[in-house]
Structure 1
């Protein structure tokens, strides 16, 4: 009698290969997400620094113009107002920064969702 069934190691080998392939695909997805997030953060940082520098220089020049215009009549008042404006702008920027740091990150959310779907699919199989 010849047994037409394939040996037990065949299905186990295919299962192992499938699991390794699934793991590799998930790791590639994680790597792609990490790269995209890195590029997004670098772009955000570059434009944020540039915008902050230009806005700061613009505000400083405006305040200098006001101080020079009021130099003969209200010199101390103009300097005090310029200082108050700069400190208020710094406080607003600090509050915005704290708000941004408090937001949760979305890094690897797609990968986590895919892994949950994989786990649910494996649990549903008999």
Structure 2
């Protein structure tokens, strides 16, 4: 029995260390997920607000141009307004596709820490 006690002590400590390490990594993942959720919510809020305000500004500018040109060139004013809106929509769509194509950075810190842990375990004899 005395030969098992020295072995069981280090195994218990190793198990406890692994559990603690796993818990810490899971807490880091949870924190990162919460931060990313808050960042996305803020981005969405400000993007929607900016888009609404910019849309209203463009519409008002187009209405002003249409009213100013209505007596002399009504079709040109309406056509120009349509072209402006189509070009703006195309630019927004291109930007959206660019953002969707970018890789996510979610959990990058946790992945780096797990790689560091694995490297440290492989270096030890």
How does the TM-score come out when normalised to structure 1? 0.95
Show the counterpart of 1:22.
21
Corresponding residue for 2:44?
45
Q: Tell me the SS of whatever aligns to 1:106.
A: coil
Residue aligned with 2:6, SS: coil
Query: Equivalent residue for 1:116?
Result: 115
Taking the aligned partners of 1:57 and 1:47, their CA distance within structure 2 comes to 15
Q: Find runs of 4+ consecutive structure 1 residues off by over 6 angstroms.
A: none
Give the structure 1 partner of residue 105 of structure 2: 106
The number of aligned residues is: 124
Secondary structure in structure 2 of the residue aligned to 1:8: helix
CA RMSD of aligned residues (A): 1.4
1:63 aligns with 2:62: yes
Q: Which has the higher helix share?
A: 2
Q: Which runs of 5+ in 2 are unaligned?
A: none
Separation of aligned partners in 2, 1:10 and 1:120: 25
- 2:33 corresponds in structure 1 to 34
Shift of 1:8: 1.6
Extract unaligned runs of 5+ from structure 1.
Answer: none
Superposed displacement of residue 78, structure 1: 0.3
TM-score (norm 2): 0.96
